[in-house]
Amino acid sequence: MGSGFISILRRDLLLAFRNRGEIANPVIFFFIVVTLIPLGLTPEASRLAEIAPGILWVMALLASLLSVDGLFLSDYRDGTLEQLVISPQPLYLMVLAKILAHWLISGLPLTLLSPVLGMMLSLPKEGYLPLVASLFMGTAVLSLVGAIGAALTVALRKGGLLLSLIVVPLYMPVLIFGSSAVQRAVDGFSVQGPLAVIGALLAFSLLISPFATAGALRVGMHG
């Protein structure tokens, strides 16, 4: 079981590094949009600081949504996904390996880049640590939840719009508590509550998502 998990994880990471555009696209999108915010709204540091927590989290959510569509798509097209479904290895474990690879490729770079973009939006220094902590956990939740939607729509020709309709409402709690944690830190309040909620969402998603995604893949492949 462990060897299968590691093999899938290694394979997906290797494929991603061979096609570096898959890694770069969400990061470039995140960077460009946040860079354009001061040009489109205002360059005043005080006003940017007010909207920085929400803007950073909304852009992280959209960047994650941009990449989650292809989580199973290439494997479905080349037949690899069918082999995974009929493999004797537990499908939920293979799915978890693919979700982890997706987070390492998309969510982790966004998390590491966020302090730089926070500086560009004049985010007060009190918000940097909560921003990184909330994105570290929150982007993992986005990958886990997005995997369910990606599995449900993988066999559809134009499943991108349906995927958005499925997962965006489920993303809302992460967005609300993630931006709230940063905003509360900036305002001088405790961030333990919002971060604890995101941690609980992560634990719940880790428990439910691999099994729900595996079930959705089986239904999609048989359909």
Looking at residue 142, its pLDDT comes to: 94
What is the tens place of the pLDDT at every residue in 27-37? 888 788 888 88
User: What is the number of domains present in the chain?
Assistant: 1
Closest Cα partner for 7 from 78, 111, 112, 83? 83
Handedness of CA 15, 21, 23, 26 (dihedral sign): negative
Q: Answer with the residue of higher pLDDT: 64 or 132.
A: 132
Counting residues of the chain whose pLDDT is more than 70, the rounded percentage is 95
Query: How many whole angstroms separate alpha carbon 49 and alpha carbon 46?
Result: 5
Domain that holds residue 183: 2-222
- Going from the C-alpha of 75 to that of each of 15, 78, 89, 171, 201, the distances in angstroms are 11, 5, 17, 25, 28
Looking at residue 156, its pLDDT comes to: 78
Query: How many whole angstroms separate alpha carbon 101 and alpha carbon 16?
Result: 9
How confident is residue 70, by pLDDT bands cut at 50, 70 and 90? confident
Query: How many whole angstroms separate alpha carbon 178 and alpha carbon 191?
Result: 10
Mean pLDDT, all residues of the chain: 87
Mean pLDDT of 138-145: 94
- Does the pLDDT of residue 206 top 60, yes or no? yes
Tokens of 1: 């079981």
Query: How many whole angstroms separate alpha carbon 175 and alpha carbon 189?
Result: 18
Looking at residue 159, its pLDDT comes to: 63
CB atoms near residue 104 (< 10 Å): 16
Looking at residue 22, its pLDDT comes to: 67
- Does the pLDDT of residue 1 top 60, yes or no? no
Query: How many whole angstroms separate alpha carbon 9 and alpha carbon 36?
Result: 35
What is the tens place of the pLDDT at every residue in 149-186? 988 888 776 666 788 888 899 999 999 999 999 999 99
Query: How many whole angstroms separate alpha carbon 134 and alpha carbon 121?
Result: 18
